[in-house]
Homo-oligomer: A and B are copies of this chain.
């Protein structure tokens, strides 16, 4: 079940990365690297921060291979022209991906018993791939400019962390649920943080 949710998130993140590459007029290699980076980049940064080398994305390449396959399919012109990145179904599976990746990140830091680190690892796992995607495409990272996106991940990571001492499964389900709900509400009501 958890594996299926992770795969869903991988697919959503790969589509998002590929579409940013298409909008930036990249070639098929560029869009595929952006799809791959968006899907596995957050986990790779997290693993480098906690000393897991080679990062899990390489040790279990199934997610990377799915991301590459999805990116190549999405690049096909008749398919890419039909993808609307604001469609509710894409926002929903992206929200699931953000939730699952965030709680995976919180749990991966668990041996360090340091709330600041564990919550940070959760957010980095959730949003780090998207930041790399935007930097490769020479755009200001979207989460720094106009989205409530990373805050949903942050709140869910904190909820997950504080429930971990109670019950492992409850912490993960609560963390994912909070993120999915907040991310969808934020998209529906165009929530954003104070701007400059």
Contacts and interface: CB of A to CB of B under 8 A. Distances in A.
Interface stretch (A2-10, A27-35, A82-90, A169-177): A27-35
Contacts of A24: 140
A30 B145 contact: yes
A59 B150 CA distance: 23
Contact of A54 (B49, B135, B141): B49
A49 B53 contact: yes
A162 interface: no
A181 to B, nearest CB: 19
11 contacts: A25-B195, A26-B196, A27-B192, A28-B193, A29-B144, A29-B193, A48-B48, A50-B54, A51-B54, A58-B120, A61-B117
A45 to B, nearest CB: 10
A193 B61 CA distance: 25
B194 A26 contact: no
A159 interface: no
A50 B44 CA distance: 11
B75 A141 contact: no
Most buried by B among A50, A54, A139: A54
Interface of A: 21-22, 24-31, 33-34, 44, 48-51, 53-55, 58-59, 61, 64-65, 75, 80, 109, 112, 114, 116-117, 120, 131, 135-141, 143-146, 150-151, 192-196
A126 to B, nearest CB: 13
Given A51-B51, A51-B54, A136-B144, A64 B31 contact: no
B54 A53 contact: no
Nearest to A68: B116
